[in-house]
Amino acid sequence: MTIIANTLNYLDEEVLLEGFFAYDDSITERRPAVLISPMWNGRDSFVEEKAKKIAALGYFAFALDMYGKGVTGNSVAENATLMQPFMTDRAMLQQRICAALRAVKLLPWVDDKKIAAIGFCFGGLCVLDLARTGADIRGVVSFHGMLKPAPNLVATNIKAKVLVLHGHDDPMCPVEDVIALQQELTHAGADWQLHSYGHTMHAFTNPVANNPAFGTVYQADADKRSWQSLCNFLAEIFR
């Protein structure tokens, strides 16, 4: 197995974006693709390492860019400033992640009939919004994602299967948001499941998260269990 990794420029209208891709060069045929939407600080080493792990499973992995080439945040204030325009304008968010989907579909290594998207924190919201648009993809997975509905659209025909991996004690996603999402996905006719991990806060997959006052704490068991759930889900939707 030889994992090839590199960056790829693509566009959302006039905005230049830079994704990171990885794949196993020993596989010669076109393969399923997994988009990875990053946390609120932007595309970083965390999602690049996730891309390599997904490539090792035999898939084409693409860590997408929400903010623009070379744009990342380095503090809570910077991250919030970068994310907020997309929270305010969910149509812009949906357009940005759909641009990544279009770019991946054109790549020669990709079976464009077998695409999924996963996301972490803010990225979890992004992939849920991708599903809400009715995008014709196999599935989406939200890791400790924000769950607020998109006020610019009513999800009525979600084609993607949905897996939500959630920390029960996540202060950024109260129980009301969880119940509302379940109702929304049910009304949209989605094939959905939600795994809730007890004694688990936000950012439970991020080993450097250690701020209980802010609500972000790494939880090793939930990290391991959620990754196994992802692997099982991808095997199911790509078979």
Q: State residue 184 phi and psi, 5-degree precision.
A: -60, -45
Q: What is the pLDDT confidence band of residue 138, given thresholds at 50, 70 and 90?
A: very high
Q: How far apart (Å, rounded) are the C-alpha atoms in residues 193 and 163?
A: 5
Q: What is the pLDDT confidence band of residue 154, given thresholds at 50, 70 and 90?
A: confident
Residues 66-96 have pLDDT tens digits of: 999 999 999 999 999 999 999 999 999 999 9
Per the rule left: phi > 0, alpha: psi between -120 and 50, beta: everything else, 144 is left
Positive/negative CA dihedral, 21, 22, 28, 32: negative
Q: Where are the domains of the chain?
A: 3-237
Give the burial string for 99-112 (b: 16+ CB within 10 Å, else e).
bbbebbeebebbee
Q: How far apart (Å, rounded) are the C-alpha atoms in residues 229 and 147?
A: 19
* pLDDT above 90 for 195: yes
Residue 59, pLDDT score: 98
Q: How far apart (Å, rounded) are the C-alpha atoms in residues 46 and 71?
A: 15
CB count in 10 Å sphere of residue 30: 15
The highest-level CATH class for domain 3-237 is: alpha beta
